[in-house]
Amino acid sequence: MNRRGGLIKAVAALLAAVALPMQAQVVDLSKGRWVDLSHEYDDDTLYWPTAEGFRKDTVFEGQTDAGFYYTAYSFCTAEHGGTHLDAPVHFAEGKDSVEQIPLSRLIGPAVVIDVREQSAEDVDYQASREDIEAWEAQHGLIPPGSIVLFKTGFASRWPDAHAYMGTGERGAEAVAKLHFPGIHPEAARFLVRERKVASVGIDTPSIDHGQSSQFLTHRILYAHNIPGFENLASLDELPPTGALVVALPMKIGGGSGAPLRAVAFVPEE
């Protein structure tokens, strides 16, 4: 076996040991495809109306006095914008901050629940327990430790703020004008109490729908140390089951959130 082949199998074994103990299987990373679930950070990145956007400044770009090319930049961003992680402490005092979240909640088997049809009919749709049970009727019970992703189809609207969020306005007054799908609190309770999931994600700005004022889904999940992934991309490229998600945030000490590079490996069928 060459060095590359050995490295692939070693990484696969590590991922299986960390993320898939309940399935006792090894994912062969040489047979399948990777899907990038993250939007890039740039001038078009979308943020909550009250959050500061992404800024990238040039420190140096070009030829140095020594005769070689060199670039360096600095950047500034709010924790909660773009494809990002919500740490449980974001809405639950005393729960995990970014650096405290176990890797077992960030790496694991994906469950992808499709609510695109409902979201197309109702921009404020909240994915329900019934949606989860309908998925289970086709694919079986959601295994403990799963990463549950809700596919609304809204990622296709990125980065048009009005189409994606319901408004392109900024400031506190714009919050009341937000319209996008989320996850119903009863669905969150079901995932916490009866399915023991590792984490939850969605391809909209928030796991609560845009018109939420109490953010109950955040509070329910995060009180149980279940982190959230928001503004995900390309969920339409994942099957309902079988993918492996790796969602690693910037490791910000004490952070309530962080930019997230989320990817998924889809094995060959």
Give me the half-sphere count of Cα atoms (radius 13 Å) on the Cβ side of residue 3. Answer: 0
- Using a 10 angstrom Cβ sphere, with 0-12 exposed, 13-18 middle and 19 or more buried, the burial of residue 229 is buried
Residue closest to 144 by CA, chosen among 111, 185, 114, 115? 111
The Cα 81–Cα 158 span in angstroms is 13
CA distances from 217 to 41, 50, 99, 189, 259 (A): 26, 20, 22, 8, 21
With 0-12 CB in 10 A as exposed, 13-18 as middle and 19+ as buried, what is 159? middle
Count CA within 13 A, CB hemisphere, residue 86.
27
Closest CA to 180 of 169, 171, 170, 167: 167
Note if 90 is an active site residue.
Answer: yes
Catalytic residue among 84, 90, 209, 218: 90
Catalytic residue positions, numbered: 90
